[in-house]
Chains A and B, each alone.
Chain A
């Protein structure tokens, strides 16, 4: 019997903002080296779930474990060590606009790990090359980058410290389909090379099918279906069917104020 705990384990995670319940008992496991994509409509709490795992938001109740360690019970150096396992690509990339691209990529290495600036710069240029960007891009400021380049730099920053777990928040949102596919390929390539565990959230089914081993659907604050990516078309779940086919009619009622 395999007793290895999942890399990420969520049990009964709840989070509300005032009267609005966003997460209502989320249960999810992500195995070591596995790539799980959580799909769901806008405002269903996908980003909140990731922020709870990262410790940016504190869940109201429930259990979140990383490598079997309850993240709600650790502080100080232990928490810093835990954060060192994470990398994240934000939806808007969240690059520091006061720093050049190379320093954005090397930021965690310099500030958190105390690496010399020259050595960190070399690593940053290497990571930029890994996402298809030349060394000349390193000297640019984030405001000078296109949408696709911004995502690539965000990806380079996420993998710079070679994390064990990478979170992707809408990695292809706002990109044209070709650039979206380029980013998907880069995500798959980088994750494979690092051997990292990944948890992604997206509404882009093309992206989900490409980068996921397993897909889970979040609706009304709960995971209502999860399974291998190959099973999603025959999920037998009317919510999943409506979502993947993008139909207005079905059990998911979108609130449209007139």
Chain B
């Protein structure tokens, strides 16, 4: 039998570590795929829990409105100031309105709303479902002939998918309004001209791409919240870990899907 040299042992240890991480990644992808498949099946097969779905819609849509609205209005205001300050260097101030509306509808509206909702909703879903898991409330649902996917997961996914586009549409309007406020009151733009420039180059595709992103982000946020909550282990620490994982994975997936959807809509 040959004995591995010390440097070989280091290489073997590193490679086995990389292999372990890769296998864990594949296992997680597999578990997530099965979870997603089951969740989607229960979204489209009866019974449907309309009251729960409406409650989730209110929680995701209505109660997220203040934080998303605040984010949007300040983003629109900053965007107007920044683009004016940059474009004035080459006398292109007239493009401020167009830059604000395209940036908000295509990118900043959906992405910033997604990030805010991920922090607010994804974390709370993971914590709620995770606590139900570790206190056997999900097992109790099963013993009461209630499918936990139908009762807990499906209403959240449907609500996320339905409410995020509405939330982003509102964020788009508020963001553009924020830019308008600064342009008219601080940068001395003519209100009618500013509004006319806002809509002059805006295409349906700009708004639709943002709304498609919003729907995907809504699905991703609620899916991550439910998945990590449903698979939490142990006690309070496990729920805490699930909450962190739900938020972090939502944020990463939002950025990845943002690129993919942008590529699909706007790649030349």
Contact = CB atoms under 8 A, between A and B. Distances in A.
Interface string B122-149: 0000000001100111011011111000
A197 to B, nearest CB: 15
Interface stretch (A80-88, A218-226, A248-256): A80-88
Given A92-B136, A94-B135, A56 B144 contact: no
**For chain A, what secondary structure do more than half of its interface residues adopt (helix, strand, loop), or is it mixed?**
mixed
B151 interface: yes
Contacts of B145: 80, 83-84, 108, 112
Contacts of B131: 97
A111 interface: yes
Interface centre among B131, B140, B142, B144 (most CB of A within 10 A): B144
B137 A96 contact: yes
A108 B146 contact: yes
B140 A88 contact: yes
A51 interface: yes
Contacts of B143: 54, 56, 83, 86-88, 167
B140 to A, nearest CB: 4
Contact of B140 (A84, A96, A161): A96
A243 interface: no
Contacts of B142: 54-56, 83
B146 A91 contact: no
B86 to A, nearest CB: 50
Interface in B144-193: 144-146, 151
A91 B140 CA distance: 11
A107 interface: yes
Contact of A111 (B132, B135, B146): B146
A112 B142 CA distance: 10
Nearest to A154: B140
Interface in A101-149: 107-108, 111-112
B139 A112 contact: no
B146 A112 contact: yes
A95 B131 CA distance: 12
Contact of B139 (A94, A97, A161): A94
B144 A90 contact: no
A54 B140 CA distance: 10
Nearest to A111: B146
Interface in B56-100: none
A231 B49 CA distance: 50
B146 A90 contact: no
Contacts of A91: 136
A107 B136 contact: no
A111 B151 CA distance: 9
Contacts of A84: 145
A18 to B, nearest CB: 12
B144 A111 contact: yes
B139 A56 contact: yes
A13 to B, nearest CB: 18
B151 A90 contact: no
A86 B143 CA distance: 7
B53 to A, nearest CB: 14
B88 to A, nearest CB: 55
Contacts of A90: 136, 139-140
A144 to B, nearest CB: 16
16 contacts: A55-B142, A56-B143, A80-B145, A83-B145, A88-B143, A92-B136, A95-B137, A96-B132, A96-B140, A97-B137, A107-B144, A108-B144, A108-B145, A111-B146, A112-B146, A157-B140
**Nearest 4 interchain pairs by C-beta:** A108-B144, A112-B145, A94-B140, A94-B136
Interface of A: 51, 54-56, 80, 83-84, 86-88, 90-92, 94-97, 107-108, 111-112, 157, 161, 167
Given A90-B136, A107-B144, 20 more contacts: A56-B139, A86-B143, A87-B143, A90-B139, A92-B135, A94-B136, A94-B137, A94-B139, A95-B137, A95-B140, A96-B137, A96-B140, A97-B131, A97-B137, A108-B146, A111-B49, A111-B144, A111-B146, A157-B144, A161-B144
